[in-house]
Amino acid sequence: MLTIPDTKVVYAIGPENKPVATCHPGDTITFETKDCFSNQIQKESDLFESVGWAAINPATGPLFIEGAVPGDTLKVTIQDIEIRSYGVMVAVPRLGAFGHLVDKSTTKIVPIENGQARFSTGISFALDPMIGVIGTAPVGDAVPCGTPGPHGGNMDTRHIRKGATVYLPVNVPGALLCLGDLHAVMADGEVVVCGVEVAGKVSAQVNVLKAIVLPCPVVEDAENTYFLCSAGDLDEASNQVLESALYHIMSRTGMALSEVAMLLSLTGHLEISQVVDPLKTARLRIPAEVGKKLGIRLTAER
């Protein structure tokens, strides 16, 4: 199995990045990842300000996938996520949803043991490892790894976990896939600007769906299909994801706009992935059973 070490990272996802590895469709690749602080915070006296913005949110890669060309869709199936024995959290003035209330920078080291993230005495959380940053190279200028967009990137969506499949656009030859920013556990919103940030490794199988274009990044698991859009505020992100799903379903089913709109009012669950990145990410969740009936499910039945 091909392994990409965590020494091979980028801090912006773009078409000018040179591939660090090459694979074929159907291959499984292991990405070793640093945490979002480039592993520079080791103890609670290490503050966010000591890291420097240039070292925030490294993503391992890029990976060149043979045969992937613009107009295709990259299918990335997350087979496993392993994480290290501790995580890091920070609260920082002027960052995150509480940044206007936080008066001094604070770091918390979170031990990880026996399947739990031990937040404090008597308060632990079951591990739910997920990938914060996963994306392909966009067309044009590189996008910082901390920013989400149509190419994927820092979508901070907790459903990008083991067993999920992520569908991303191929905008340049080889797609140039990068991923990183693992979390041991994180709630929707990521309101303090981080989850339990961890280093680790991800095993993922990559495939190419030829001549299939999706309206936005899509994530599927056994229970749901998620459409993801990011924009300057949640209203705009919500409008984008609703319209993306609406027109996609219309194109696949031939149903009238008003009919699909009513259907989404019954079965399309509008949710928030994160509110703290330069662009905010909203998602529309459609249950798998509905997706199968509409013919929009991409993942083969398990």
Predicted confidence (pLDDT) per residue in 156-193, tens digit: 999 999 999 999 999 999 999 999 999 999 999 999 99
Percent of the chain, pLDDT > 90? 97
Same domain, 123 and 236: no
Cross-strand bridge partners of residue 168:
74
Same domain, 227 and 124: no
Same domain, 39 and 111: yes
pLDDT computed for residue 301 by the predictor: 44
pLDDT computed for residue 62 by the predictor: 98
Segment 251-277 shows an average pLDDT of 98
Q: How many CB atoms lie within 10 A of CB 250?
A: 15
Same domain, 114 and 260: no
**Total domain count, the chain:** 2
pLDDT digits (tens, 9 = 90+) for 184-197: 999 999 999 999 99
Residue 302 reports pLDDT greater than 60 = no
> 189, 97 in Cβ contact below 8 A?
yes
Residue 137 reports pLDDT greater than 80 = yes
Same domain, 145 and 259: no
Task: Give phi and psi for 22, each to the nearest 5.
Answer: -130, 140
Same domain, 189 and 274: no
Same domain, 246 and 188: no
Same domain, 260 and 121: no
pLDDT computed for residue 55 by the predictor: 94
Residue 60 one-letter amino acid: T
Same domain, 195 and 245: no
User: Which CATH number covers residue 193?
Assistant: 2.60.120.580
Of 159, 190, 209, the last residue of a domain is 209
Domain that holds residue 234: 218-294
User: Which CATH number covers residue 258?
Assistant: 3.10.28.20
pLDDT digits (tens, 9 = 90+) for 224-262: 999 999 999 999 999 999 999 999 999 999 999 999 999
Q: Place 300 in a pLDDT band, splitting at 50, 70 and 90.
A: low
DSSP string, the chain: -EEE-TTSEESEE-TTSPPSEEE-TT-EEEEEE--TTTT---STT--GGGT-GGGSS-EEEEEEETT--TT-EEEEEEEEEEE-SEEEEEE-TTSSTTTTT--S-EEEEEEEETTEEEEETTEEEE---EEEEEE-PPSSS-EETT-EETTEES---TT-BTT-EEEEE--STTEEEEEEEEESS--TB-TTS-SSEE-EEEEEEEEEETT---SS-EEE-SSEEEEEEEESSHHHHHHHHHHHHHHHHHHHH---HHHHHHHHHHH-EEEEEESSSSSEEEEEEEEHHHHHHHT---SPP-
pLDDT computed for residue 99 by the predictor: 96
Phi/psi region, residue 33 (left: phi>0; alpha: psi -120 to 50; beta: rest), is beta
Same domain, 193 and 140: yes
Segment 280-287 shows an average pLDDT of 98
pLDDT computed for residue 201 by the predictor: 98
Residue 299 reports pLDDT greater than 90 = no
Cross-strand bridge partners of residue 110:
87
The answer to whether position 73 is within a domain reads no
Same domain, 92 and 191: yes
Q: How many CB atoms lie within 10 A of CB 64?
A: 18
Same domain, 255 and 127: no
pLDDT digits (tens, 9 = 90+) for 17-67: 999 999 999 999 999 999 999 999 999 999 999 998 899 999 999 999 999
Q: Is the pTM of this model over 0.85?
A: yes
The answer to whether position 302 is within a domain reads no
